[in-house]
Structure 1
Amino acid sequence: MAGTIIITGANSSLAIPAIGHLLTKYPDYTAVLAVRNTSGSDNNTRRLRSTIAKHPGSKTSIHQLDLADLSAVHKFADDIIDKIRRGSLPPLASLLCNAFYWNLCRETELTGDGYEKSLQVIHIAHAALILRLLGHFHSDGGRVVLFSSDAHWPGKNGLEKYPPNIPDELDLLGKPGPDPTPDNLGRGFQRYARAKLAIVAWMYALNRYLNEEPGLRNITAVAINPGTLSDSRALRTNCPPMLVFMSRFVFQPLRPLLRFMDPTMRTSAEASVDVVDLAVRAVHPQDRGYFTMLKHDDSAPESMELRTQQLLWKKTLEWARITQENTVLVKAFT
C-alpha cells in the first residue's frame, strides 16, 4: 500500500536524509513536503531541492507551512483534503510530524495566535493537522509519527535546569507569563521539554480515540525519541555560543567516544532511516506508543497519567480550533 506521506519541517537536519531514504527505498509513495520558507534564498530548502533532484520522476511537492500560524495550518489541511477528494493526491499513508521550535537565547515568545511558540509548533499545530486529516487516510490505515526527546523525561537530559511538567492550570502551559527567573537557556529548554511532554501524553489519548472508531482503528500513532543527534542544526539555531561551540568541537568529532556514555547518540542520517521505516509501517506495522529509536520504551510517568492525558486532550481541541465539524474523530468530544 502506497499513498501520500506528509512531512513537516521537511528541510531539517533529519528530514532531508529521511526524504532521500524514502525516495530511494519507497519510491511508490507521494511525498508532500512542508517547510516554513519555500524560497531559493533559504539554504536548507535548497538542500532539500537538491536531494529531490537526485530522484527524477519522484512524486514530490514542496509546500509552505508556518506552524506558528494556526490559520495557515487549517488552510494547508483544507488544501490537502481538496486534493485527495479530487484525486490529485492519493489518500494518506502517514503524517510525519517532524517540525519543531526552540529558543534558548530569549525569554518566552508567543505566536500571533497567542500561544507559547515551542508548544504551538511542536504540539498544537501538529494536533490540528492530524485531527483535520484523519478522515483522509488510506482504507488500509496508516501511521502518525510524532517526535519526542529524552528531554520530556525529567532528569534525563544534560541541558535541563528546570524539570518539564504539565501544570494543573493548562492555560499556563499554552499562555505562560514572564519567566520566573532570568535564565534564557534553562527556561527555554524547559519550554521545549514541556512541549515534547505534551505531545507524548496527547499521543496516548489519540490512540485510544482512534481505537474506538471502527473506521480509524488501522491508524496507529507513535512517538519516537530518535536519539541524541550530534549533527543537528538545532544545536546551532537559537542557541547560546557555548552550545554552538560544543556542537561543532565536542559532540560531532567525539561522537564515537560519547556513544559509549549515551548509546542513543548518532547522526541525523542514521535516525532518519528509523523514522521513515516507522512511517511506512515497514517496522512495527501495528504497534502504537512510545519508542526510543526503534525499541518500545516507557515514556515519562506524567505522560502516562490518564487524567493528564484527558485534560490535555480537551484543552488541545480548544487550542487547535478543532470542532465536531472539522474532524471525523467525533468521540473526541464525549
Structure 2
Amino acid sequence: MAGTILITGANGSLAMPAVHRLLSESPKYTLLLTVRNLSATDTNTEKLRQIISHFPEKSALLRQLDLADLTAVHNFADSIAADVTAARLPALAGIVCNAYYWNLNGPVELTSDGFEKTFQVNHLSHAALVLRLLGSFDPAGGRVVLFASDAHWPGKNKLEKQSPAIPDTMELLVKPPADPTDDRFGWGFQRYANSKLAIIMWMYALNRYLEKDPKLNHIVAVAINPGNLSDSRALRTNTPQMLNYLSRFVIQPLRPLLKFTDPTMRTASEAAKDVADLASGRAHDGERGYFTLLKKDDSAPESKDKDKQQILWNKTLEWTKIVKGNTALQFVF
C-alpha cells in the first residue's frame, strides 16, 4: 500500500535512522517529516537532509512544525488535509508521533497556549494532529504510532524520583502548581512520565472510538515503549551535567553489560527499526495496543482505568479545541 507517513521530530536520535530505514526498505511511501527548526543552522536538521539526499529518487518532504503552539498544529493539519484532498500528497498511511520534550533542569514551563510544555508537546499537540488528520487516511488502512516509556509505570524507570500518576483534578496536568521542592530533576521527570501515562490512556480510548466508527475502523493505534536508548540525545538535552556524563562515559560504553539488568537498553538505531516497521505495517499489521519493543505487552494498571481514560479523552478534546467540525471521528461528542 502506498501512502504518506508523517513523522514528527524527524531530526531526532531515533527518527533519523527510522527515516533511513523507511527510505531504503519501504520506498513506496512518501515521507512527510516535521522539525521545529528548518534552518541550516540546526545541525540535526542538516543531518536529516543528508540522509534524504542519499535517496534522490524517493519522496521525502521537510516541513516546519512547532508542537509548543497549538495554533500552528491546527494550521499544519489544515494544510496537509488540503494537500491530500487535492491529491498533491498521497493519503496518509501512518502518523509517527516521535517528537518529545522534557526539562529536568528547570521549573514548570508554560507554552503560549498556557499549558505545561512537556504535556503539550508530548501529548496534546500529537492528539490534536492525529484527530485533525484521521479523515486524510487512506481507506485501505493506516496506523498511528504513539511513543510510550517504561517511565509511565511507577517504579520501573531508574530515573524516577516522584511516582507518575494522573491527578483526580486533571487540570493539574496542563496547569500544575510550582514544584513543591527544588528537586528539578525529580519533578521534571515526573511531568515527562505523566505525559507518557496520558499517551497510553488516550491510545486505548482512541482505539475504542476508531473501532466504533465504520468510516475509520481501518485505522489502528499503538503505543510503543522503544526501550531505554543509550545514545539518545535526550540524555544530554535539558538534563543535569551528571546525566550527560553518565550517558557518555557509563551508559553508552557499558550498554552490553547494562542489558543484563535492563533488557530494553539498546541503541536508537535498533529502536528505529521497530518503529519504522510498525509505521509501515511490516510488523504487527492491523494490531492495536501497547508494545514494549515489538512485543505486545501490558501497560501500568492505572493506564487501563477506563473511567480515567474517558475523562482524559474529554479533557484532551477541550484543551486542543477539537470539535465536530474539525475531526472526521464520529461518536466523540
TM-score of the superposition, structure 1-length normalised?
Answer: 0.99
Is 1:175 the counterpart of 2:186? The answer is no
Number of matched residues?
A: 333
Is 1:96 the counterpart of 2:96? The answer is yes
Q: Percent identity?
A: 62
Q: CA deviation digits over 1:89-109, x for unaligned, max 9? A: 000000000000000000000
Residue 106 (structure 1) aligns with: 106
Query: Helix, strand or coil: the match of 2:215?
Result: helix
The aligned amino acid for 1:320 is T
In structure 2, how many angstroms separate the alpha carbons of the residues matched to 1:286 and 1:9?
Answer: 24
In structure 2, how many angstroms separate the alpha carbons of the residues matched to 1:301 and 1:308?
Answer: 11
Q: Spell out the pairing of 1:20-169 with structure 2 (5 A cutoff).
A: 20-169=20-169
Residue 306 (structure 1) aligns with: 306
The aligned amino acid for 1:105 is N
The structure 1 segments of at least 4 consecutive aligned residues displaced by more than 6 Å after TM superposition are none
The aligned amino acid for 1:53 is S
The aligned amino acid for 1:117 is K
Is 1:15 the counterpart of 2:15? The answer is yes
Superposition deviation, residue 282 in structure 1: 1.0
Is 1:330 the counterpart of 2:318? The answer is no
Residue 257 (structure 1) aligns with: 257
Query: Helix, strand or coil: the match of 1:39?
Result: coil
In structure 2, how many angstroms separate the alpha carbons of the residues matched to 1:284 and 1:17?
Answer: 20
Gaps of 5+ in 1: none
Q: CA deviation digits over 1:33-72, x for unaligned, max 9? A: 0000000000000000011011111101100000000000
Superposition deviation, residue 249 in structure 1: 0.2
Q: CA deviation digits over 1:284-329, x for unaligned, max 9? A: 1111000000000000111100001000000000111100010011
Q: CA deviation digits over 1:112-153, x for unaligned, max 9? A: 001010000000000000000001100111000000000010
Residue 211 (structure 1) aligns with: 211
Query: Helix, strand or coil: the match of 1:169?
Result: coil
Superposition deviation, residue 79 in structure 1: 0.6
Superposition deviation, residue 260 in structure 1: 1.1
User: Pairwise CA RMSD of aligned residues?
Assistant: 0.5
Residue 201 (structure 1) aligns with: 201
The aligned amino acid for 2:68 is A
Query: Helix, strand or coil: the match of 2:90?
Result: coil
In structure 2, how many angstroms separate the alpha carbons of the residues matched to 1:220 and 1:296?
Answer: 14
Superposition deviation, residue 330 in structure 1: 2.3
Query: Helix, strand or coil: the match of 1:332?
Result: coil
Q: CA deviation digits over 1:175-196, x for unaligned, max 9? A: 1111111110000000000000
In structure 1, how many angstroms separate the alpha carbons of the residues matched to 2:325 and 2:200?
Answer: 25
TM-score of the superposition, structure 2-length normalised?
Answer: 0.99
